[in-house]
Amino acid sequence: MFAFVIRRIIQSVVVMLAVAMIAFAMFRFVGDPVNSMLPENASTQERRELRSQLGLDAPVTFQFTRFVTGAVQGEFGISYRNKRPVSDLIAERLPATLELVFSAAIFALAVGVPMGVFTALHRRGFISNLLQIISLIGISVPTFVTGILLILVFSVWLNWLPSFGRGKVEQLGWWSTGFLTVSGLKSLILPAIMLGLFQVTLIMRLVRAEMLEVLRSDYVRFARARGLVNRAVNYGHALRNTLMPVITIVGLQLGSMIAFAIITETVFQWPGMGLLFIQAVSFADIPVMSAYLVLVSLFFVVINMIVDLLYFVVDPRLSVNNKASG
């Protein structure tokens, strides 16, 4: 187990270095931030001085070394647009994105897993077929269209929920949370549904397919032959053995939700990292864009490592093999 963790850490360091190199190289071609920061009638001398202040006139290798060294220390430079440290901007926006992704993931699991189990156990029922049709509609409609429809129904017509913003938040140290206020919770509902709706369909279909396969296995038939009740067989044996691929997909999708919450945050004007990234792209704010990409990659790496460790908890075969090899 310890050797496995060490190997994963080494692999993660290599991945993060590769991502940092790609981010640094890719954003060199986004545009010249000097053109965005100075007026059109700025002189050549003024442009040269600003480029020197930003460190853009240094050799590329020196800029990359400075970028990696700062990233390891949690420093990504100064934002060209906001004139503030990028780490401070991310610290302000990160809680909003993580709370949104956490709520969307809870919604997707709470709805998708029971729907997948139900449609697998009652695969020929009318309700099961209806749920599958609804899931097809949900996965076919573009995400931003779903968000607009949610705003139209619940904000414009019914006037139940706010259509933009995060609502009132409470400060817990440096962390700002909307979970402790009514307006914060109401503002979170629609973005969480929009972000998690696609994941509901994915999880439901995955759980259904795995459950149908497991229910036909020999050990499930043996458990029924021994006289175990259906509840124990379906949930104690079948469902647990479907969790391996579910954990893998949920882990990957969790990282994807963090990375691609940009659309949701744009539709609902959610003050998270995705909206910050969109604003940075329009202004060619290279430090913010680079920090966003590196941070998202870090989330992917950490989530994948947690998923790998959860395998040892869910699948007893891995623990047995690990002890045997030890």
DSSP string, 8-74: HHHHHHHHHHHHHHHHHHHGGGS--HHHHHS-TT--HHHHHHHHHHHTTTS-HHHHHHHHHHHHHTT
CA distance 30 to 32: 7
User: Count of H helices and E strands in the chain?
Assistant: 16, 2
Name the stretches of the chain with pLDDT < 70: 1, 27-32, 312-326
How much of the chain is helix, strand and coil, in % rounded to 5? 75, 0, 20
Which letter, b or e, does each residue of 6-22 get, where b requires 16 or more Cβ atoms within 10 Å of its Cβ?
Answer: eeeeeebeeebeebbee
Count of beta carbons in the 10 Å neighbourhood of residue 150: 20
CA distance 115 to 98: 25
CATH of domain 90-325: 1.10.3720.10
Query: Which amino acid is residue 39, in one-letter code?
Result: P
pLDDT at position 27 = 67
CA distance 251 to 248: 5
Model pLDDT for residues 18-44, shown as the tens digit of each residue: 888 887 777 666 666 777 777 777 888
Tokens standing for residue 47 = 């442009």
Classify the C-alpha dihedral 35-40-44-50 as positive or negative. negative
Domain ranges of the chain: 2-72, 90-325
Secondary structure class of 82 (helix, strand, coil): coil
Residues 6 or more apart from 98 whose CB is under 8 A from it? 258
Give pTM, 2 decimals: 0.83
Work out the angle at residue 126's Cα, subtended by the Cα atoms of residues 125 and 132, and round it to the nearest 5 degrees.
95
CA distance 298 to 300: 5
Model pLDDT for residues 78-100, shown as the tens digit of each residue: 887 888 888 899 989 999 999 99
Residues 6 or more apart from 47 whose CB is under 8 A from it? 34, 38
pLDDT at position 190 = 93
pLDDT at position 31 = 65
